[in-house]
Amino acid sequence: MSGDRIEVRGIRAWGRHGANLGEQDVAQPLDIDLVFELDLSAARASDKLADTVSYADVHASVVRIVARERFALLERLGEVLLDGLMADPRIARARISIAKPRLLDGATPVVTLRRER
């Protein structure tokens, strides 16, 4: 493993996730940061998008999943998002952090999950 990584920070996605009464009634914002590790040597040499993971595609997938799915726990949402990311066999390790900024009267809970092959 080369130690290369791609980070996509500050994804703002709107979804209906939560365990407390009323949390799934109205879409609320989630702030998501992703870090994934893979060998980027081919992309560095070729300058071709096909030789890397498109962060635009990753962003679109995250926003789509957050909007379409509903879960009580951010932990479950994070697991589903990691499943999608790790479906690309080039990704060796991934980390996702999901923050719910409007939940705790000014405090922001954040769930961070990691996975590796």
**Which among 64, 62, 77 has a CA at the least distance from the CA of 24?**
77
The pLDDT assigned to 1 comes to 52
| DSSP symbol at 23 | T
From 8, 52, 53, 100, active-site residue:
100
Distance CA 53, CA 21 (A): 38
In this prediction, residue 58 carries a pLDDT of 97
DSSP 104: B
State the pTM of this model.
0.92
Gap between the Cα atoms of 48 and 66, Å rounded: 29
* Spans of all domains in the chain: 5-116
Question: E strands, 1-117, where?
Answer: 5-15, 28-38, 91-99, 110-116
Instruction: Give the tokens for residue 74.
Output: 């951010």
Residue showing tokens 């809970």: 109
Type and span of the H or E element at 76 = helix 74-86
CA distances from 96 to 15, 45, 50 (A): 16, 28, 23
Predicted confidence (pLDDT) per residue in 23-37, tens digit: 899 999 999 999 999
What's the pLDDT at 16? 96
CATH for the stretch 5-116: 3.30.1130.10
Which residue positions in the chain have pLDDT lower than 70? Answer: 1-2
48 annotated active-site: no
